[in-house]
Structure 1
């Protein structure tokens, strides 16, 4: 079954890494369903049933987004609030439609990885900072998987560096 990659980038046209990842995913339509939230919902008014149906059609779901202000883009938070509803994602006998699905995050990060630890500027690892996502997906009984992160976007945007991320990302997706 194909992997659903939900791309949540508020300005994908100006993106460096996320835009390249989308291009790579689109080269394999037999393996990946690419769903760009900001492109589908420029007014940010989600069609909840359509989003739920899309989730139900896939066993592996990855949320791909840039990490800034120690969080996700606002449309992802809105998606979580509106799509993971009582009676569908949790809380009733008919709920838990996400149960058992493998879910992961794929994050592009501006600074180097070493800055995300106790003795550095940002004090916490990225896994620690994204723990609310882990807890949210565990709450709906999904099989939350370790995240993928590509660091250093602020420091290096060379074509070689960008291209180096692509096979790493695809390997991550294939290993889910």
Structure 2
């Protein structure tokens, strides 16, 4: 006999509501002013909660940025994977995934670069950091699946190439020399480097 779906309790609803308010407040303030110009007090005030409550959901501003950016990265990855399904060529399909990820990261360049720095240097014990790392793993898995469309590339090689392709993408987005470059220019750079990895 199937079990009835469990109703979410009031406490869990309240926690989710606070998290949603924090996410919305941080997202709006970071987008408007940039992460470096926003304080945790401003986020708490906008979310209409105390700073002590805020720190129950994210222990510092870096974690708040991860919270906000993870959702846009996840959406971009879903969009890219769907687009890649429609693209026959291996390189073009990999780039179909990368395109939306780069575009979402560059909406606010300083925030995007800080997000990447938090991914690398943040505390992996923190939940929003773990989620960010999980997104990078999902990205590499998507790359590897596409790379195996080429029958010359076995699963182990595909995983290695996917890891390198992911590194190329992240370094290109984070590099100081690319601050003034457009999304298309960065995508052209990434495409050239990934093309050099692929068998000819």
TM-score (norm: length of structure 2): 0.25
Larger radius of gyration: 2
| Structure number with higher helix proportion | 2
Greater RCO (Cα-Cα under 8 Å, separation 6 or more)? 1
